[in-house]
Chain A
Amino acid sequence: MWQGPLNKIDEYRYEIPQDYKGEKGFLRMRTSGMIYINDSMISTIRKDNAAEQVANVTSLPGIVGKSLAMPDIHWGYGFPIGGVAATSFENGVISPGGVGFDINCGVRLVRTHIEAAHLESKKIRELVDQMFINIPSGLGSKARIRLTKNQLEEVLELGAKWGVENGYGWEKDLDVLEENGCLSSADTTHVSQKALERGKEQVGSLGAGNHFLEIQKVDQIFDETAAKLFGVHKGQLVIMIHTGSRGCGHQICTDHLKVFEKAVKKYGINLPDRQLACSPAGTPEADAYFSAMSCAANFAWCNRQMIVHWVRQSFEKVLGETAEDLGMEIVYDVCHNIAKVEEHIIMGKKQKVYVHRKGATRSFGPRRQIPQKYKKIGQPVLIPGDMGTASYLLHGTDKAEESFSSTCHGAGRIMSRTKARSQWHGEKIGQDLSRKGIYVHPASWKVVAEESPDAYKNVDSVVDVAHGAGLSLKVARMIPLGVIKG
Chain B
Amino acid sequence: MMMVHRRGYNIIDHTADIGVEASGKNLEEAFENLAESMFAIITDESVIENKIKKEIVLPRDSDTEQLVVDWLSELLYLSDVSGLVFGKFRVKLNDQLEALAWGEPYSRHKHGYGAAIKAVTYHLLSAKNNKNGVTIRVLFDV
Contacts and interface: CB of A to CB of B under 8 A. Distances in A.
A194 interface: yes
Interface in B112-142: 112-116, 118-125, 139, 141-142
Given A77-B17, A417-B18, A140 B119 contact: no
Given A251-B77, A254-B120, A419 B16 contact: no
B1 to A, nearest CB: 8
Contacts of A446: 44, 112-114
Contacts of A365: none
Contact of A81 (B2, B4, B13, B16): B16
Given A198-B81, A446-B112, A446-B113, A275 B18 contact: no
A276 B9 CA distance: 27
Interface stretch (A165-173, A315-323, A408-416): A408-416
B26 interface: no
A385 interface: no
A138 B113 contact: yes
Nearest to A455: B15
B118 A101 contact: yes
A81 B14 CA distance: 13
B122 A418 contact: no
A228 B25 CA distance: 66
A277 B65 CA distance: 14
Contacts of A413: 15-16
A200 B83 CA distance: 13
A274 interface: yes
A77 B66 contact: no
A427 interface: no
A102 B17 CA distance: 13
A76 interface: yes
Contacts of B73: 254
B16 A207 contact: no
B123 A78 contact: yes
A253 interface: yes
B12 to A, nearest CB: 9
Contacts, number: 120
Given A77-B139, A447-B113, A275 B121 contact: yes
A82 B30 CA distance: 34
A250 interface: yes
Contacts of A209: 115-116, 118, 142
A299 to B, nearest CB: 14
A142 B62 CA distance: 34
A257 B116 contact: no
Contact of B15 (A258, A262, A275, A414): A414
A75 B16 CA distance: 6
Interface residues of B, number: 41
Contacts of A453: none
Contact of A100 (B76, B83, B114, B141): B141
A253 B14 contact: no
A101 B119 contact: yes
A406 to B, nearest CB: 19
Contact of B118 (A102, A415, A419): A102
A77 B76 CA distance: 19
Given A258-B66, A413-B15, A418-B18, A198 B125 contact: no
B97 interface: no
Contacts of B114: 446
Nearest to A447: B113
A102 B16 CA distance: 14
Interface string B1-28: 0101000000101111110000000000
Interface of B: 2, 4, 11, 13-18, 42, 44, 62, 65-66, 69-70, 73, 76-77, 79-81, 83, 106, 108, 112-116, 118-125, 139, 141-142
Given A254-B120, A446-B112, 12 more contacts: A76-B17, A78-B123, A209-B115, A250-B118, A251-B77, A261-B62, A261-B66, A275-B121, A413-B16, A417-B18, A419-B2, A447-B113
The 8 closest A-B pairs by CB, nearest first: A77-B123, A208-B116, A444-B113, A274-B122, A77-B121, A101-B119, A275-B123, A416-B13
8 contacts: A76-B17, A77-B141, A78-B121, A78-B122, A139-B113, A257-B122, A275-B121, A447-B113
Interface of A: 48, 74-78, 81, 100-102, 138-140, 142, 194, 197-198, 207-209, 247, 250-251, 253-254, 257-258, 261-262, 273-275, 277, 413-419, 443-444, 446-447, 450, 486
